[in-house]
Amino acid sequence: MPAYRSPSRRLKRSPRALMAAGALGSAAALILTGAGPAAAAPPAPDEPVRSGQAWMGAGTRIEQGLASSAAGGGVTPMDTSGVQGIDVSHWQGAINWGSVKAAGIDFAYMKATEGTTFKDSRFSANYTGSYNAGLIRGAYHFARPDVSNGATQAGYFASNGGGWSKDGKTLPGVLDIEHNPYGAMCYGLSTTQMRTWINDFYTTYKARTTRDAVIYTTASWWNTCTGGWTGMSTKSPLWVAHWGTANPTVPSGFPTWTIWQYTATGRVGGVSGDVDRNKFNGSLARLQALANNTA
């Protein structure tokens, strides 16, 4: 474990469609049980995402392309060892969190906000339900650097689900910053402007919550849009998205990963459909330390 142990796209298609595309792979071995009502159908990978409707990984499917997204999302390896987690949004519909916990999931992140005006319609139910089921949980904000500065969005996030309390079950909030699903990859910002945006978000979020915001991204996006910036390496834990590989590629500027999103087409009892699967880089005790800010 390194000295600083603070804390990736979702291919939203039906299991039947994924099987037809040959993309479900070993994810089919994970049995779906105890799920709530079926989730709504999100945009297909070749369809535009409506404003406010993005999810963690919505930009990564564009970055990787449909073919590689399908292959990278659900074939092999499925690294279900160690401390496991999922991330969700309203696209999963109602979730049976007790069944999720029984399936061996220890932590979960859920979308809270996007930009400066959008709140996820399932956030409150997911945040409370996961907590009551005994999961360690946290919230994420889908970044929109094209609509406001970073400080404004950090404040909006902190006021609408991204807060933190030292209860041993609440993880620090996540800045989900990835390939723009609405337009230009880097949201029309230069590398210098993007660095400023991220730093302003981080500074404001920490001032509001006392916690370092986790950064969710991909190596390709970070290296391209920030120029491989090293400025967050000692401040923000890294959540890296890289599917279909035995070892994730870490963005330049970060020493290692804290959370790894290793598939976007996983299955978990309690969730009606595909869900992102994640792994924590450490023991459950270390995850609890992260939640308590003693890591």
Ordered domains of the chain (ranges, CATH): 15-292 (3.20.20.80)
For the chain, 295 residues long, the average pLDDT of each consecutive 10-residue run is 34 32 28 41 59 83 56 50 94 97 97 97 98 98 97 98 96 97 95 98 98 97 97 96 90 95 90 93 97 90
How confident is the model at residue 39, as a pLDDT? 57
pLDDT of residue 45: 54
User: Looking at residue 63, what is its pLDDT?
Assistant: 79
Q: Indicate the pTM of the whole model.
A: 0.83
Calculate the alpha carbon distances from 263 to 40, 73, 95, 233, 284 in Å.
20, 5, 19, 24, 21
Single-letter residue type at 133: A
pLDDT, residue 217, reads: 97
Question: Is the Cβ–Cβ distance between 186 and 158 less than 8 Å?
Answer: no
Task: Provide CB contacts within 8 A for 22, sequence distance 6+.
Answer: 70
CA distance 154 to 80: 32
**Catalytic sites, residue numbers:** 87, 176, 178
Q: Would you give the end-to-end CA distance of the chain in angstroms?
A: 11
